[in-house]
Chains A and B, each alone.
Chain A
Amino acid sequence: MLSHLRPAVVSMGLFTVLLGLAYPLAVTGVAQAAFPAPANGSLVRDAKGAVVGSALIGQAFAQPGYLHPRPSAAGANGYDASASSGSNLGPLNPALAQRVKTEADALRAENPGAAIPADAVTTSGSGLDPDISPEYARFQAPRVARARGAPVAAVQAVIDGQAQGRLFGFVGQPRVNVLAVNRALDARFPVHDRKDG
């Protein structure tokens, strides 16, 4: 064992320099030079250049004129992008049934008679799901239209403009990026003042 000590220590040192420093720094260099936008978090900026979010990271929306994301278990209030987490609730956990029922009741009050899709009442694995299903987006279109004083069909057209299908027709799921739709809504129907001005 002692004869192995020198190669063990020396090789671990060399590996650490090569794999723990040179490799990630080299990838960082290439990434920052060739793909700066994704490398820095796919940030989305407003007209003034201020960061309003990341295209990949879901954020909370509660105002009626915006499309709302799925429920989230990330952080204490959801959509904490420094504390990703699923709920980890098992299928029979009473807390899950209770939460689903509360969400479902609220949605039914908002749009009575319409079918509620499953993603509208379930938390994602990350708690940062940037997308909702096209069905959930359609479910919300009447509320958004009301709040913005716009025709439902026009709001639905904005949503459809941001919808993404399956890759090659069968990989992944159809989806709508919530932040992208909401930015498009603000651009198309600019009635919605930002609270902070």
Chain B
Amino acid sequence: MNWQGWAEIALTLGLAVAIGWPLGSYMSRVWNGERTWLDPVLRPVEGVFYKACGVDPAKSQSWYGYAGALLAFNLVGFLLVYAVLRLQGVLPLNPQGFPSLSGHLSFNTAISFVTNTNWQSYAGESTMSTLSQMLVLTTQNFVSAATGATIAAALARAFVANRGEGVGNFWADLVRTTLYVLLPLSFVLAVVLVALGLPQTLAAGVTAHTLEGADQKISLYATASQEAIKMLGINGGGIFNANSAHPFENPTPLTNLITAVSINVLGWAAFFAFGRSVLAKKDIRALVVAGMVLLSAGAATIYVTETQAAPALVAAHIDASINMEGKETRFGAPATAAWAAMTTGASNGSVNGMHSSLMPLGGGMAMFLMHLGEILPGGIGSGIAIMVVMAVLSVFVAGLMVGRTPEYLGKKIEAREVQLSILAVVAIPVSTLGFSAIAAVLPEALKGLMHTGPHGLSEILYAYTSATANNGSAFAGLTANAPWWDATLGVAMALGRFLPIVAVLAMAGSLAAKPKLAPSAGTLPTDGGLFIGLLVGVILILGGLQFFPALALGPIVEHFQVLAAVAGLH
């Protein structure tokens, strides 16, 4: 560890919040339909969408109308991705000459990209044609991110409403978030990334004749355009198998800084947008602080673990001050640690180093950050929505202690809100632990593992955690392109995406109908240090305690094995 490393981590985490702040104001204007400086260009395009779709963007929908539209849109997206992948072999723009994907891989990949997870059971450069990457995967990177943002917009309206009825119009939120936020930012970022070294071509690749006389086949893609939205949309699915460790996706420390910041910037922006929209900037700032406390602790932990003595290096009497297995020379421990925390704290899932080769507690921390519910800052909008659910549970717990009906942001929190909150956070433990328990004893599932012992269990746990939390990163020793894994991980992704979405929208419907209250002497202040402490506690207990037994059998026991191995070698 050195000061440069700590400074790099602090800069990367801090920049995301600093840039997310002003972008949040803009995002809130977009959600509210206010004027923006892009109106002259984008208003006409927006109008085309509404006209062709036959929708009135000003018509507010009930929560179930909103949810129905969201589910219908995602179902169509799923079918389209599935169809294109199944037909890849006969479709054009396939200079690689790749065949169509199998049924189970297409199923898994379609759910994966529609749910903003971007779990990849395949290796991009040996599976996906240029057409598939562009036409369906890039498109889903945009619209799945926008889908997540819509639930925050709807929930914000619910908190503002005074005995209101609707939660807004899904089509307007979807189209506006995509056109005004994601598309212009991605275009600018993509061009910047090309200037900094990312390829952007429709050619399949070149063959180089190396200095030693060998041939090296180098795969190319329209990389930058997909990379930009992969980061900004908090998707995480790489063009290439090695994801952001691949020098074509992330060639320099500067591209690493820019893309790492991009992982979290719109997640935090959605926090600030929510605060502006509900006129409760201070309360939402408290949520940002709570999130940053946890995220910083996660990044620091991983930096510490990756500078722990790695047993393989100690055994060979080599400088073991950095665990370099799975890391790129240009990034080293600090940039890999910051990325690992930011990608798992958000529901991104891209990696710039291999998580399976992290030290046990480093890989365990990556898992733990996902267990916390993808709220640090999580996906665009989906993160703040679940963070608000955590805040609702926190005021409920506080209310139990003092015997008062809790309130949050001017709305009474009653039985229905608490039930729906639990429904919103229950998917991760139920799906993760349930599927992991089955897979751990099923020979069909165990065939896919690379490791035995605790690291093997970690491969299983990580996979279902990542899928259910809609993250997408992996302990990639696991060979997941098999019917069992593709199918169950697909179900886990759908469960982890749509159960919370429907629960949050139902809560929005319930909250919208309530009167807006002015704070009274009995209202727990939700913008101060006391509440931040309470919230952090609730997040840690909800996320942490449930998973502790499983983590104890995986990364924690492996950590002690590492300590014992290193001690024995000295």
B556 cross-chain contacts in A, Cβ below 8 A: none
Q: Which of A50, A91, A121, A173 is packed against the most chain B CB atoms within 10 Å?
A: A91
Asked if residues A27 and B194 are in contact (CB atoms below 8 Å), the reply is yes
Contact B455 A93 (CB under 8 A): yes
Distance from B47 Cβ to chain A, minimum over Cβ atoms (Å): 12
Contact (Cβ within 8 A) B329 A39: no
Supposing A31-B200, A56-B251 touch, asked if A88 and B218 sit within 8 A by C-beta, the answer is no
Minimum distance in angstroms from A41 CB to a CB of chain B: 5
- Find chain B residues with CB under 8 A from A43 CB: 206, 208
Q: How many residues of B contact A (CB 8 A)?
A: 129
Q: Which of B222-269 contact A (CB under 8 A)?
A: 222, 224-226, 228, 240-242, 245-248, 251-254, 256-257
Q: Is the CB of A24 within 8 A of B134?
A: yes
Contact between chains at B199 and A39 (CB < 8 Å) = yes
Question: In whole angstroms, what is the CA distance A92 to B322 when docked?
Answer: 15
B138 touching A24, Cβ below 8 Å: yes
Closest B residue to A90 by beta carbon equals B455
B212 touches A60 (CB 8 A): yes
- Within residues 25 to 51 of chain A, which ones have a CB less than 8 A from any CB in chain B? 26-28, 30-32, 34-35, 38-44, 50-51
A135 to B329, CA, bound (A): 11
Measured in the bound complex, the distance between the Cα atoms of B561 and A82 in whole Å is 36
Instruction: Judge whether B53 and A10 touch: CB under 8 Å.
Output: yes
Q: Which one, B73-81, B283-291, B388-396, is touching chain A?
A: B73-81
Contact status A52-B209, CB under 8 Å: yes
> How far apart are the CA atoms of A172 and B72 in the complex, in Å?
44
Binds A, one of B183-191, B374-382, B409-417, B502-510: B183-191
Contact of B241 among A20, A51, A52, A83 (CB under 8 A): A83
Q: Which residue of chain B is the closest to A69 with respect to CB atoms?
A: B329
B41 at the interface (CB under 8 A from A): no
Contacting residues, chain B, for A52 (C-beta < 8 A) = 208-211
Asked if A115 and B319 sit within 8 Å, CB to CB, the answer is yes
A83 touches B125 (CB 8 A): yes
| A contact residues around B49 at 8 Å (CB) | 11, 14
Q: Is B570 among interface residues, defined by CB-CB distance under 8 A?
A: no
Report B178-217 CB contacts with A as 1/0, cut-off 8 Å. 1000010011001100111111111101111111111011
The reply on B311 being an interface residue by CB < 8 A is yes
Within 8 A of A (CB), among B292-340: 310-313, 315-332, 335-336
Contact call B356/A89, Cβ cutoff below 8 A: yes
**Interface bits B453-469 vs A (CB < 8 Å: 1, else 0):** 10100100000000000
Report the separation of the CA atoms of residues A101 and B458 in the bound assembly, to the nearest whole angstrom: 26
Cβ-defined contact, A195 with B212, below 8 A? yes
Complex contact B190–A8 (CB within 8 A) = no
Q: Which interface residue of B75, B197, B216, B320 has the most chain A CB atoms within 10 A?
A: B216
Known: A59-B216, A121-B318. A126 touches B72 (CB 8 A): no
A108 to chain B, nearest CB (A): 9
Q: Which of B11, B138, B212, B241 contacts A84 (CB 8 A)?
A: B241
Q: Which of B104-161 contact A (CB under 8 A)?
A: 123, 125-126, 134-136, 138-139, 142-143
Instruction: Flag whether A158 is at the interface (Cβ < 8 A).
Output: no
Q: Which one, B138, B210, B451, contacts A59 given CB within 8 A?
A: B210
Question: Out of A58, A60, A86, A91, which one reaches B359, CB within 8 Å?
Answer: A91
When chains A and B are docked, how far (Å) is the Cα of A182 from the Cα of B4?
Answer: 29
- Is there an interface contact between A57 and B324, defined as CB atoms closer than 8 Å? no
Are A194 and B191 also in contact (CB < 8 A) when A28-B202, A59-B216, A92-B311 are?
no
B316 and A104 within 8 A (CB):
yes
Cβ-based interface call for B558 (8 A): yes
- CB closest chain-A residue, reference B142: A19
Q: A70 to B332, alpha carbons, bound, how many Å?
A: 14
With an 8 A cutoff between CB atoms, is A61 at the interface?
A: yes
Whether B195 and A20, one on each chain, are in contact in the complex, defined by CB atoms closer than 8 angstroms, is: no
Q: Which residues of A sit under 8 angstroms from B248, Cβ to Cβ?
A: 41, 56-57
B90 sits at the interface (CB 8 A): no
Q: Which of B11, B175, B327, B451 has the most CB of A within 10 A?
A: B327
User: Which one of B195, B209, B257, B565 lies within 8 Å of A35 (CB-CB)?
Assistant: B195
Partner of A57, one of B77, B218, B326, B331: B218
Interface residues of A in 2-23 (CB under 8 A from B): 4-12, 14-16, 18-21, 23
* Contact in complex: B171, A121 (CB < 8 Å): no
Q: Which residues of A contact B540 (CB under 8 A)?
A: none
Chain A residues near B171: list those with CB within 8 A.
Answer: 7, 11
Which segment, of B20-28, B347-355, B437-445, faces chain A? B347-355
- Distance, CA A5 to CA B335, complexed state (A): 45
Chain A, Cβ-Cβ closest to B199: A41
CB pair B356 A97 closer than 8 Å: no
Cβ A89 vs Cβ B360 within 8 A? no
Given the known interface contacts A91-B310, A123-B325, the answer about A53 and B134 at a Cβ–Cβ threshold of 8 Å is: no
- Specify which of A4, A66, A92, A126 is in contact with B558 (CB 8 Å cutoff): A92
In the complex, are the beta carbons of A60 and B210 less than 8 A apart? yes
The answer, yes or no, to whether A127 is at the interface (CB within 8 Å) is yes
CB contact under 8 A between A81 and B219, given known A28-B200, A51-B207, A88-B476: yes
Report yes or no: A51 in contact with B208, Cβ–Cβ below 8 A: yes
Provide the bound-state CA to CA distance between A1 and B196, in Å: 46
Please judge, given known A-B contacts A31-B194, A52-B209, whether A79 and B242 are in contact too, CB under 8 Å: no
* A162 sits at the interface (CB 8 A): no
Identity of the chain A residue whose Cβ is nearest the Cβ of B353 in the assembled complex: A125
A40 & B125 in contact (Cβ 8 Å cutoff): no
25 contacts between A and B (CB under 8 A): A7-B54, A12-B80, A20-B134, A23-B225, A28-B225, A31-B190, A40-B199, A51-B208, A51-B209, A61-B211, A62-B212, A66-B212, A81-B205, A81-B216, A82-B219, A85-B123, A89-B325, A89-B357, A90-B360, A90-B458, A92-B565, A122-B324, A123-B325, A132-B329, A173-B253
Interface residues of A (CB under 8 A from B): 1, 4-12, 14-16, 18-21, 23-24, 26-28, 30-32, 34-35, 38-44, 50-54, 56-63, 66, 70, 74, 79-93, 96-97, 100-101, 103-104, 115-133, 166-167, 169-173, 175, 179, 182-183, 186, 194-196
Question: 10 closest pairs, A vs B, by CB?
Answer: A172-B253, A125-B245, A86-B354, A4-B72, A84-B242, A7-B53, A126-B242, A31-B200, A170-B4, A90-B455
Knowing that A23-B186, A43-B208, A118-B319 are A-B contacts, what are 4 other residue pairs whose CB atoms are under 8 Å apart, sorted by A's residue number? A12-B76, A19-B138, A59-B208, A60-B214
Interface residues of B (CB under 8 A from A): 3-5, 7-8, 11, 45, 48-49, 52-55, 68-69, 71-73, 75-77, 80, 123, 125-126, 134-136, 138-139, 142-143, 171, 174-175, 178, 183, 186-187, 190-191, 194-203, 205-214, 216-220, 222, 224-226, 228, 240-242, 245-248, 251-254, 256-257, 310-313, 315-332, 335-336, 351-354, 356-360, 450-451, 453, 455, 458, 475-477, 558, 561-562, 565
